């Protein structure tokens, strides 16, 4: 065998391998609840590294995503902040039956960007209380609904409601607090904690018994039924790699 023949075969093998990789790779459009933005960005990077597929991510409120999907938005996978939205989409024929599963269980936290402003028991909400309190729109975002439920159980909803600064999503609520537009607010623990440590400021981790569980379900949408990348992502979300990232950001499973 000549050198040129050997080189030709090597080049041919490389081309075949590259073509095969392209055939296996693809894109999946994913609607992601805002509270899950940081861990999902990390999962998407590992997903692409491990499978060759690319997850194209959009972040927002679960309620807004439901409206968009109902109106034909080209999402293929939904990572909701609740269980009812994926279930509803399945009933409406917009999600693949039997594809739903819980990918994370979230925690609500009262957080301030300033150290020492929020005490570990949440007593700062009582008495005079904050002059502004950020939270996600309870009509659109499950974490906002959970915050309202907490304040109602604490008997503080009437006194604090006039001070609400509402964002469309938990991402916007976090931005209000991080930017100083609100001295504190209810956000997702995953937004302010990594590997069990608060990333800054001060916080009260709300006891889980003060609100309904923040169980978050994923669903394969009808647009992604025949997309191998969408199917692969649904499997990858249950992988040890994904689960490790999810737990590192304060979620249960």
User: What pTM, to 2 d.p., does this model score?
Assistant: 0.81
Q: Is the pLDDT of residue 36 over 80?
A: yes
Quick check: helix, strand or coil at residue 215?
strand
Q: Length of the chain, please?
A: 253
- If asked whether residues 62 and 113 sit together in one domain, one would say no
- If asked whether residues 142 and 84 sit together in one domain, one would say no
Q: Radius of gyration over alpha carbons of the chain, in Å?
A: 22
Please report whether residue 233 resides in a domain. Answer: yes
Region 6-34: what's the mean pLDDT? 59
pLDDT tens-digit profile of 220-242? 999 999 999 999 999 999 999 99
Q: Which residues contact 178 (CB under 8 A, 6 or more apart)?
A: 113
Please report whether residue 15 resides in a domain. Answer: no
For residue 42 the two structure tokens come to 């990390």
pLDDT tens-digit profile of 133-146? 999 999 999 999 99
Q: Is the pLDDT of residue 16 over 50?
A: no
For residue 161 the two structure tokens come to 């409601």
Burial class of residue 150 (count of CB atoms within 10 Å of its CB; 0-12, 13-18, 19+): buried
- If asked whether residues 116 and 51 sit together in one domain, one would say no
- If asked whether residues 192 and 228 sit together in one domain, one would say no
């Amino acid at each position: 065998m000549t050198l040129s023949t050997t080189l030709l075969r090597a080049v041919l093998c490389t081309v075949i391998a590259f073509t095969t990789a392209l055939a296996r790779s693809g894109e999946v459009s994913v609607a992601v609840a805002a509270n899950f933005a940081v861990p999902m960005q990390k999962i998407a990077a590992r997903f692409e590294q491990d499978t060759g597929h690319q997850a194209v991510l959009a972040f927002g409120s679960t309620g807004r995503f439901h409206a968009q999907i109902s109106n034909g938005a080209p999402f293929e996978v939904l990572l909701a902040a609740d269980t009812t939205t994926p279930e509803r989409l399945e009933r409406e024929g917009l999600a693949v039956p039997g594809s739903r599963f819980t990918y994370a269980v979230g925690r609500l936290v009262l957080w301030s960007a300033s150290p020492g402003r929020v005490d570990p028991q949440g007593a700062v909400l009582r008495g005079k209380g904050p002059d502004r309190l950020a939270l996600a729109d309870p009509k659109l975002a499950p974490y906002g609904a959970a915050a309202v439920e907490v304040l109602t159980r604490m008997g503080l909803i009437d006194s604090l409601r006039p001070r609400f600064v509402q964002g469309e999503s938990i991402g916007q609520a976090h931005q209000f607090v991080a930017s100083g537009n609100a001295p504190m607010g209810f956000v997702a623990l995953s937004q302010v904690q990594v590997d069990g440590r608060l990333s800054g400021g001060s916080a009260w981790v709300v006891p889980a018994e003060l609100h309904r569980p923040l169980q978050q379900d994923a669903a394969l949408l009808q647009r992604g039924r025949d997309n191998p990348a969408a199917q692969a992502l649904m499997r990858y979300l249950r992988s040890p790699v994904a689960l490790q990232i999810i737990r590192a950001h304060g979620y249960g499973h």
